[in-house]
Structure formats: C-alpha cells, structure tokens
A and B are shown apart, each in its own frame.
Chain A
Amino acid sequence: MRPETDMSHEEIKDLLPSYALGALGADESEILVRHLPTCDSCPGELAEYQQAVGIFPGLMPQATPSPKVKERLMALLSPPPGSAFSWRRFALAWTPLSLLLLAGVLAVSFSLSNQLQTQQEAMATVLNLEGTEIAPQAQGIIFFVPQQRMAMLAVRGLPAPPPGWEYQLWLIRDSERHSGGTFVVDSQGRGYLFVQMPQDIASFPTAGITMEPEGGSLAPSGDRYMLGSI
C-alpha cells in the first residue's frame, strides 16, 4: 500500500536531511521518493546533503586492510563481465529450460560440496514472483537450495527504471526485510541477481522487489513491483 500524505512541500523538504543519512522510516521514505521526481528544488538540495554526508568516510581514522583482501577480490573476478561466458548474458537469455538446467546444476554442485547433505536437502526450491498491479506483465523466479546461502533470481517484463534508480530484492520473514541485492534490467525488462545470505535463505518464505535509489536502500522505500511466496 502506498502511504498517503497531505504533507506540505516544506514538510516534505524537511525530510531531506534524514533521507540523506538513511534515517527515514519506510513510509516517510516512500513519500519523499514519490515527491522527488515532481519537484524542481528538492533533488538538488538532496544532492547537497548527500555530498555533505559523503565526506564523513574521509574523516575516519584511516586503516589498511590485509593484502589478502585484494588477493581474494581479484580471484573472484574471473570470468569478468565482458568475457565469453557471463552470468549476466546467461540470465538475459534465460528461458524456462535454462533455469531448470541451472536448478539442476545448483543442486548437484551443492550436493557434491557437502557429502553429509541428503539428496532431498540438496534439491533446489523455487519461489515464483508475480508482477503487482504496477507491473502486471512481470514474471520472476528464485532458485535456492535449503541449508545453503546462495540463490539466483531471474526476472522479465519489468519496466526500465529511470536514471538513478534500480530494482532491489527483499527477502521477507515476518516483519523482517533483508536486502538480497540490487539489479538492473535490459530493454526487454530482463534481469538477474545472485543472492548470498549469511543465513539459510530458505527460511524466508516470501520475496518482493521494489524500485529504489541507485545503490539500494536499507529498507524498502519505493513501489513494490513484484511479490511471491513459496
């Protein structure tokens, strides 16, 4: 549900500092996010607050990470996005068949990686996502394996977000909303996302997708485009 508001422009403008700090609650964030594209002055003012907040990290006592961090990072970067095979290209061309294949690959690889896991536990579980009333043509699917911390989301039929915005996946359990990450879509509305979680991803029975400012939000603040449950 969209929060309704009779707030004046001045009142909405007063939300900008807290929004720049990420300190607004979900309802007020949504009011502001809805207001920004319609206002001539607030986006510029918000950028100035964000610039001020963006200086904070430079004030921290500077510390150096272990050289192993860079080693691990560089090892993760293969294959790069432009190489012959990329998950992005794979996902952009996804079909029900390729996703079934992916589910099989995930199940088998996870099974092999854990000798103690039973075959039943290793079976990939599927969560189907449907478009809400603002994106009725959107379809999506999440594959995840019980007891594991990885999953893959693939969607199609989502409208392209305006510049500065992207989609964000939310894993939902009771009143908790955990970000699964952000993603963009191509001109056909197709996108993908690999999800890594510090806990059993299958413990989240519901998932939703909202449109958020680029970089993502700490809590859902934009319109909900997709929703689904196991």
Chain B
Amino acid sequence: MDYSQASDELLISLMAQGKKEAISVLYDRYARLVFSLALAILRDRQLAEEVTQDTFFNAWRGAAGFRAEQGRVSTWLSAIARHRAIDELRRRRLPVLNMEEPWWETLASNPSSASGEEGILLMQMSKALSDLPREQREAISLAYFGGLTQEEIAERLGEPLGTVKTRIRLGLKKLREAIQKE
C-alpha cells in the first residue's frame, strides 16, 4: 500500500493498527505545522522539538480514540501540541509571546505559500485577524499562545474582567463569521 496517498483519517486508522509507516507519513505531513506552533508558543527550538515528538507519540497512542466527525486530523494534532506546549510554558514559567509581533501577517507577506481550499481559509483568517481592533486581537493572542484565562489576561493588561470577556467574544465572533462568508 502507498501510504503517501492515504487520507489523514486512513493514516490514523492504520496507526491504530500499529502501522509505523502510517505515522511516518503523517509526521512528514504535519511536523512543520506542529513544530511551528510549539515554537511560536515556547520560543525555544529544543523544547518545541520535544513537544513535536510528544505530540506525535500521543497521537500514536491515542489513534484508536480519534473520531473524524469531531474535526480534522490537523486540528487534533494542533490541539495536542498546543496543550503540551502551554503545559511546558507554565511549568517552566517561560514568558508569554510578545503580542507586538504580527504572527497573523506571515501569510499575507508570502501569499504563494497558501493554495487551494486550505489556502483560501488561511488568507481569510489572516485578513480577519488583521482587521480586528488591536485590543481584541491581543486578548485572543494571549489566550491562544499564552494559555491565559480571561482572569489572567485582565490582570496582565490591567483591564476589567468584563472588558476582556467582551473583547474575546466580539473578536472570535468576527473570526468565525469571516470563514463562513464564502
């Protein structure tokens, strides 16, 4: 069987049967995505590599529990990686991402890297994030990359909790609407 042509879901199913070739292909497909996310959160290549290894190892162990109807494989892997990276961030008391850096604009500066349906979604999200008021984007970024709760964000920014809740709610509603327009 040519594993390289298999769908993500089939690879997960083969992993659940103990097929090491399947996770090898899945790794080649998504290692950059997982590593880049971990690196963005941790800012440390060695730690990000540990998180990448752990993420795929956990995917291997948890393959039998994956349910395709609940989301895409890439989203599942990203969620595992983010949890693991934020766990590491907290344990080591590392600083949270500098929110001044426009992580959402990387794609806009290199649009050729995005293609197909996936690329359209990425471009829509990049633009929607750019269009958000800075305060809403900042609250969302602190929650996503720093793993901070609403209360922790309010404390960090010196803003009322209600204000932070509103910023996150309004911001994420706009992002959700942006990818549903097409």
Interface of A with B (CB < 8 Å)? Answer: 14, 17-18, 20-25, 47-66, 68-70, 72-74, 76-78, 80-83, 163-164, 166, 178-179, 181-182, 184, 198-199, 214-216, 218
If A59-B106, A74-B24, A81-B64 touch, does A23 touch B143 (CB 8 Å cutoff)?
yes
Enumerate 17 A-B pairs (CB-CB under 8 Å) in ascending A order: A17-B173, A18-B168, A21-B140, A21-B172, A24-B149, A24-B150, A52-B175, A58-B33, A58-B125, A59-B106, A61-B106, A63-B32, A65-B31, A73-B56, A76-B57, A77-B60, A81-B64
Per-residue interface assignment for chain B, residues 100 to 125, with 1 indicating a CB less than 8 Å from any chain A CB and 0 otherwise: 00011011000001000010011001
For B35, give the chain A residue with the smallest CB separation.
Answer: A65
List of A residues within 8 angstroms of B27 by Cβ = 70, 73
Number of interface residues of B (CB under 8 A): 81
Instruction: Check if A59 sits within 8 Å of B104, measured CB to CB.
Output: yes
Interface residues as binary, B131-169 with A (CB distance below 8 Å gives 1, 0 otherwise): 000000000100110011111010000000000010011
B37 interface residue per 8 A CB criterion: yes
Residues of B whose CB lies within 8 Å of any CB of A are: 16-20, 23-24, 27-28, 31-37, 39-40, 45, 48-49, 52-53, 56-58, 60-65, 67, 70-72, 74-76, 78-83, 86-88, 91-92, 103-104, 106-107, 113, 118, 121-122, 125-126, 129, 140, 143-144, 147-151, 153, 165, 168-169, 171-173, 175-176, 178-180
